[in-house]
Structure 1
Amino acid sequence: MYAILDIETTGGKYNEEGITEIAIYQFDGHKVTDQFISLVNPEREIQPFVVNLTGINSKMLKNAPKFYEVAKRIVEITEDCIIVAHNSSFDYRILKTEFKRLGFPFKRKTLCTVELSQQLIPDMNSYSLGKLTRALGIPMSDRHRANGDAMATVKLFKMLLNKDLDKVIVKNAIKIEKKSKIAPNLLDIIEELPSDTGVYYIHNANGDIIYIGKSKNIRKRIVQHFTGTNSKSKKIQKLVSTVTYEKTGSELAALLKESAAIKANKPIFNRALRRTIFTHALYSFTDSNGYINLFIDKSNREEAPITTFNTRASGKHFMFKAADDYNLCQKLTDLYTTKTSCFKYEVKECNGACINEEPKESYNKRVNDLIEKYSYSNKNMLIIDKGRDIEEKSVFLIEDGIFKGMGYFDLNHQINNKAILKSLITPMENNKDTQHIIQSYLRRNKRLKVVDLN
């Protein structure tokens, strides 16, 4: 017996979605023997893109039954059945999550019609339900609604059963849920963690912090620690007692807070990160002809760098792109070693600064434009990034080229007033690591909002 189903959800973060609609058809391999179709009140907001996709909105679900009210019927119609769905891992995970919230262990064997179709009907242009059924001539109505998608999956599955005459592929494709490899005490820790950007702190039984990290998805990263097989992961799994966290919204905030916390706490498993996180930097000098030269070197020089890099290779990669963007000479950017003209001059892509043909004033202006963009030396500016929720932004203050700290403000809060702004800022230490973190983040995030305070 099979329970062929489709689920529509609120969307949102992993393991935090709720069901908005469910359709289940009990199928004996020949015909439908039972069915259950219902809207479900998810008791949480529906993401706008999901409303546009499905047409299901909160008003429609106001009087719909909540999941606990339909749970018994779902258990009954799927009992002793193999769950079949198009991308069954998603639908099965959603069902398991909802039952887990009720304290009920829901376990079924599963079959995925995406995987079956790829084996039995190879070389299709697409295996999405809509495109696949259209290509196979399977009629479909109410796309992206549970009933329409579930009925289309019934017809598709019937076709796949007919193609697999000996039922060998279908039998081999049935997935039995494996027992979790994660110890029960670690699973309990994971359950309490959010799928948000932030900094996490792993504590031992004495409450001491043994590891600090940052992630765009805290829960996912902790799962990786708890399932890792390397030496450090195994030691963490053995010693961990609890995990605390701080949501930051902004990845830049997470990077800065992680760096500061590691310096302050010196956790035993963060030894590698206690060393400087950058090795190379961009420097400049003016040659005897008056041209500004740029070069990548180790970051332990006495003079202040323009910007810093994790490796020499990343510095060189940046310099090649910058030379193209600002039309700079490869000889004067240490990218092409020669005593005469550079390669770009030979192919008419260099204005001749390498052989003193281009006026030094025009060439140096472009170099200074690059330095101005990638160095915040002597600058007064704000960096605006994501907040911890949709109505909030994070703000980072640079004064006279020195990182002063960060804070959060509501979208309707005016931050033009310097006195108000400073009251929002939590002071943080300025050092070489924070400078590197901020500069590399600005390089990687071109659309970041930067407000000049001069």
Structure 2
Amino acid sequence: MYAIIDIETTGGQPAQDRITEIAIFIHDGYQITDKFHTLVNPQRPIPYFISNLTGITDDMVKDAPKFHEVAKEIVQFTEGKIFVAHNVRFDYSFVKKEFADLGYTYQRKTLCTVRLSRSLIPGLPSYSLGKLCKSINIPLELRHRAIGDAEATAKLFDKLIKLNEKAVSGSEDIVTESQKALKNEVKTSLLPPAIKKDQVDALPDKPGVYYFHDEKGEVIYVGKSINIRKRIIQHFNIDYKSKKSIEFKNQIAYITYELMGNELIALLFESDEIKRMKPHYNRQQRRSVFNTGIFATVDDKGYKRLSFGRINDERVPLIALSNHFKAKGFLYHMVGKYNLCQKLCDLYKSAGSCFDYQVHQCKGACIGKESPEEYNARVEKAIESFTYQHSSFVIIGKGREAAEKSIVVVENGRYLGFGFVDDSFSASSLEDFKSGIKRYNDNKDIMQIIRNHLRTKTSDKLIVFE
């Protein structure tokens, strides 16, 4: 038995938006046998653009039942049935969230008619509900209303079942084989519509970097994991929190990957690939230019000063950031956390004391009230918080195969890159190790990755060059 469901909502975010309409058509595998439909009072205003799209207004839902008043009926109506929808993850995520807010765990097996349509009616220009129905002559009235879209999806599902039976018509037991095919679709309903189960099954259970491509071959997302296949399955199994995440999933046409041998190398390569390729759905690490640095100098009175400025070949920064605004914010954070002087951190221009001294927040290093030794001790703690413990070192870890190892090289506090060498590789100097790597860019994100790795317990070997 199948429950074909469509909902309308106040927006595209299950975590914060609410259902305004729900329609359910029951299909027994042969025909539609029952239906349920109601408007739902979301207990919040419906945005104008949503009302403009769906036609559902605040006046229409003010006397409608609240979700908790129809929840029991929805549970009973769908119990023991497979939850079917067009882009099922969207509708299912909303319904699950509404029940979760009531303290109830709502779980059903799911089936996506987008995936099923792609499988049984390949080659169409679009699989959106409206365009798909137009392509195969299914009437769609009341578009963007749950009752209209659910009825159209039910008719689509009915046609897909018949196409599925026709596809296995050479079998001795058409019904059994057809049911098996639908069961397989249920098992894979959480995969993106264009991704086949055998493609996911063929992914390696090894560390590496993976790429999601769209139908044009463009990389839309880069990720990393110590277990590529497991991580990608987790991607597809999560409840989506927004319409944008559904759109992202539906754009994934195929997957490629690069084995990296261990998590550190995967993290370093992922970060570099994101900055190089700038995939649309990688937002946090897309900055590719880190041209501003934090520098340390000692003035003629013995005070260690921090400053920010453009990076060039003559000055190696303590840390690289994307722009002057980020650098200033970083220094303000250091001033607040380690009680440093704004003036000695290039943040306050004055011939006398800094502003913080005037409000009793600076200990007076700016006017010689605090000794260089006391002040510099805090500066050193601040520097230690965002730099490496050693200036030059090599990290040796697992390679992509048994007879291989990875090497990461940092020289004078600057990341140079990583590489893979076989077990016969020997090195006695930093120059020897440098010959075994491919050069990559250094930046704040890379420094954070390496610092975090060095703080964790690991079997990697650390070789320090002083």
Instruction: Give the structure-2-normalised TM-score.
Output: 0.43
